[in-house]
């Protein structure tokens, strides 16, 4: 027997069909459900896409990869559309349903699991969030019904896009990582004095969102009296790093390590020798000793351009297995204040910053462009910072996080205003740096004590979307940064 009932909300509804198998795709499905459910009063029907959709009664949001979902593959063939081949790519489309012409199908097809997730996030933020003709549609079914027929594809131009932070100022690691995934980020560097006790849980959650985790620790950074030119000091760093890695990092999950040494200075010479050469020699010495024991280890060398400047050619002899992650190489997108001028610096103009960025991208046979961008939030070094021992990362209470965000809002408000004014300079920087043709790209934004887990600020939303494709037109970036999707809990 069937139980007849009268729907409380008449009319054509939206439903979701999916082929979610991996954790990343299941998160994509959850995000898609949040998007649709946010717009409608009824409970959204969600089901596997295996069954024949012929005659379906609802409008459909269809998710999956052509390789894993026959329905996605069929729809791509019927509509004569192709998902780009590059990892993380996706295809979004909206057309009348081929199975029921009176209904609409929204398609989010990924080349892989990450591509499905990125497609859903772009659909939510751009197509539904700001793309409909009715600016008041968000929160009603008009936001979905108002999507006009379209088809477009997305491919990430920057291979690794993410965040760099001290670990102890991530206050809810699950929500922080979920917010990164919503921003289509895939890389997280967490710097600690000692790795957190729940490191494995943090990495597991990140990987379920398609995000790599790199653990950062010092190779002489912050050590009073440390001298890069002193062989005894270098030998001490070698012993300390090997011992630290074996004791604390080799046994926990990670996707690489990151280090800094004594380069966060304004001088470029030490005892008449370029600091770039001394830092390179230390990196080669310690890095090779570590790689001899762990040949598959990925090592990132955080290097401050203020101590290098015109000596960047010294880095040509760095071991090619070690990546350089640059910091402090000029104005926006490098500077703590995201402005177009920086007084007292030889890289204090947009043109000088761009010219230097091109040099960095061309180093070592155009091996990479890897950097930490700034201009968002940072530690309270003068009033709160202290070194720490073992701890739990990201397990603060929601009430504490909300109070903390209220304290930090003025910092974000200032950053938001400056980024809305100056983002074209950052866009130009990335376009021209990419024109050098670096084989690998990795850009992480310094976001510390910024409560990303509670609120995605417009400036970081703009930056994340800029990183996705700096070669795109970009005129919609300020509007996209204010998409209601980023304001959702």
Residue 204 located in a structural domain? yes
471 CB-near residues (< 8 Å, 6+ apart) = 157, 431, 434
Q: Same domain, yes or no, for 139 and 180?
A: no
Identify the CA nearest to 20 among candidates 9, 12, 28.
28
User: Is there a domain that residue 5 lies in?
Assistant: no
The answer to whether residues 93 and 35 belong to one domain is yes
Confidence of residue 225 (pLDDT cuts 50, 70, 90): confident
- What does the alpha-carbon distance between residue 411 and residue 449 come to, in Å, rounded to a whole number? 10
What is the band of 94 on the pLDDT scale with cuts at 50, 70, 90? very high
Instruction: Write down the pLDDT at residue 133.
Output: 76
Residue 294, number of CB atoms within 10 A of its CB: 15
Domain total in the chain: 2
Q: What is the CATH number of the domain that holds 441?
A: 3.20.20.80
Tell me what pLDDT residue 113 has: 98
Residue 473 within any structural domain of the chain: yes
In a domain, 100, yes or no: yes
Residues 165 and 150 in one domain: no
Whether 3 is covered by a domain: the verdict is no
Asked if 39 and 111 sit in the same domain, the reply is: yes
Res. 294: pLDDT tops 70: yes
pLDDT at 246: 96
pTM, entire model: 0.96
- What distance in Å separates the CA atoms of residue 411 and residue 379, rounded to the nearest whole number? 11
pLDDT-based confidence at 3, cuts 50/70/90? low
Quick one: 133 and 195 in the same domain? no
Does residue 233 sit in the same domain as residue 136? no
Report, in angstroms and rounded to the nearest whole number, the Rg of the chain calculated over CA atoms: 24
Q: What is the pLDDT of residue 428?
A: 98
Using one digit for the tens of pLDDT, what is the confidence trace for 318-358?
A: 999 999 999 999 999 999 999 999 888 999 999 999 999 99
488 compared with 173, residue with greater pLDDT: 173
pLDDT of residue 348: 96
Domain that holds residue 31: 14-154
> Average of pLDDT values for 416-433?
98
- Show which of 154, 179, 198 is a domain's final residue: 154
Considering the domain architecture, whether residues 402 and 290 belong to the same structural domain is answered as: yes
Q: What is the average pLDDT across 428-446? A: 98
Residue 1 resides in a domain: no
Report whether 481 contacts 467 (CB < 8 A): no
Considering 131, 154, 177, which residue would you say is the last residue of a domain?
A: 154
pLDDT at residue 7 tops 90: no
317 and 358 belong to one structural domain: yes
Average pLDDT of the chain, as a whole number: 95
pLDDT at 46: 95
Same domain assignment for residues 343 and 247: yes
Q: At what angle do helices 23-39 and 113-122 cross, to 10 degrees?
A: 20
Residue 2 in this model has a pLDDT that exceeds 70: no
Give percent above pLDDT 90 in the chain. Answer: 88
Within-domain flag for 2:
no
Spatial distance between the Cα atoms of 69 and 109, rounded to a whole number of angstroms = 9
Task: Choose one of 105, 128, 154: the last residue of a domain.
Answer: 154
Residue 449 lies in a domain: yes
**What was the pLDDT predicted at 257?**
98
Q: What is the pLDDT of residues 54-85, one digit of tens each?
A: 778 999 999 999 999 999 999 999 999 999 99
**5 pLDDT above the threshold of 80:** no
Q: What is the CATH number of the domain that holds 140?
A: 3.30.379.10
Give the tens place of pLDDT for each residue, 111-122: 999 999 999 999
pLDDT at 4: 64
pLDDT for 1 beyond 60 = no
Are 239 and 290 in contact, with CB atoms under 8 Å apart?
no
Together in a domain, 139 and 93: yes
Measured CA to CA, the distance from residue 233 to residue 435 in angstroms comes to 40
Q: What pLDDT, on a 0 to 100 scale, did the predictor assign at position 53?
A: 74
- What is the reported pLDDT for 371? 98
Tell me how far apart the alpha carbons of residues 99 and 55 are, in angstroms, rounded to a whole number. 6
Q: Mark whether 224 and 358 lie in a shared domain.
A: yes
pLDDT in tens, 121-158: 999 999 999 988 788 899 999 999 999 999 999 999 99
Say if CB 339 and CB 332 are below 8 A apart.
Answer: yes
**Can you give the pLDDT at residue 285?**
96
Residue 429 has pLDDT above 80, yes or no: yes
Does residue 221 surpass a pLDDT of 90? no
Are 279 and 393 members of one domain? yes
């Amino acid at each position: 027997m069937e139980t007849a009932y009268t729907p409380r909300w008449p009319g054509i509804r939206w439903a979701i069909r999916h082929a979610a198998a991996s954790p990343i795709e299941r998160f994509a499905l959850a995000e898609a459900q949040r998007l649709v459910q946010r717009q409608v009063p009824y409970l959204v029907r969600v089901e596997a896409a295996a069954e024949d959709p012929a005659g379906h009664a609802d409008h459909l949001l269809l998710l999956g990869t052509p390789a894993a979902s026959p329905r996605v593959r069929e729809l791509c063939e019927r509509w004569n559309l192709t998902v780009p081949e590059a990892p993380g790519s996706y295809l979004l489309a909206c057309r009348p349903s081929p199975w029921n012409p009176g209904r609409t199908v929204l398609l989010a097809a990924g080349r892989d699991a990450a591509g499905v997730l990125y497609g859903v996030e772009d659909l939510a933020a751009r197509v539904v969030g700001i793309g409909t003709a009715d600016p008041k549609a968000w929160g009603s079914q008009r936001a979905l019904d108002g999507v006009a027929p379209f088809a477009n594809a997305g491919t990430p131009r920057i291979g690794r896009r993410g965040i760099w932070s001290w670990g102890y100022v991530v206050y809810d690691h699950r929500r922080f990582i979920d917010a990164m995934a919503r921003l289509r980020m895939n890389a997280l560097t967490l710097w600690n004095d000692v790795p957190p006790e729940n490191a494995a849980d943090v990495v597991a959650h990140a990987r379920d969102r398609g995000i790599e985790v790199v653990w950062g620790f010092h190779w002489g950074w912050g050590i009073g009296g440390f001298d890069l030119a002193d062989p005894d000091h270098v030998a001490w760093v070698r012993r300390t790093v090997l011992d630290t890695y074996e004791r604390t990092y080799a046994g926990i999950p990670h996707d690489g390590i990151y280090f800094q040494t004594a380069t966060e200075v304004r001088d470029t010479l030490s005892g008449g020798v370029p600091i770039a050469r001394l830092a390179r020699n230390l990196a080669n010495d310690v890095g090779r000793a570590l790689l001899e024991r762990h040949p598959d280890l990925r090592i990132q060398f955080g290097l401050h351009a203020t101590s290098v400047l015109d000596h960047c050619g010294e880095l040509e002899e760095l071991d090619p297995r070690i990546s350089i992650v640059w910091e402090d190489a000029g104005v926006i997108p490098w500077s703590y204040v995201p402005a177009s001028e920086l007084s007292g610096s030889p890289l204090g103009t947009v043109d000088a910053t761009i010219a230097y960025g091109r040099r960095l991208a061309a180093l070592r046979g155009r091996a990479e462009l890897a950097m930490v961008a700034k201009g968002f939030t940072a530690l309270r070094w003068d009033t709160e910072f202290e070194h720490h021992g073992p701890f739990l990362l990201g397990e603060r209470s929601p009430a504490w996080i909300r109070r903390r965000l209220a304290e930090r809002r003025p910092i974000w408000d200032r950053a938001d205003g400056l980024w809305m004014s100056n983002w074209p300079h950052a866009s130009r920087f990335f376009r021209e740096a990419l024109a050098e043709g670096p084989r690998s790209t990795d850009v992480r934004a310094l976001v510390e004590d910024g409560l990303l887990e509670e609120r995605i600020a417009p400036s970081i939303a703009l930056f994340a979307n800029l990183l996705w494709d700096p070669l795109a037109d970009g005129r919609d970036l300020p509007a996209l940064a204010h998409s209601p999707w980023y304001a959702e809990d």
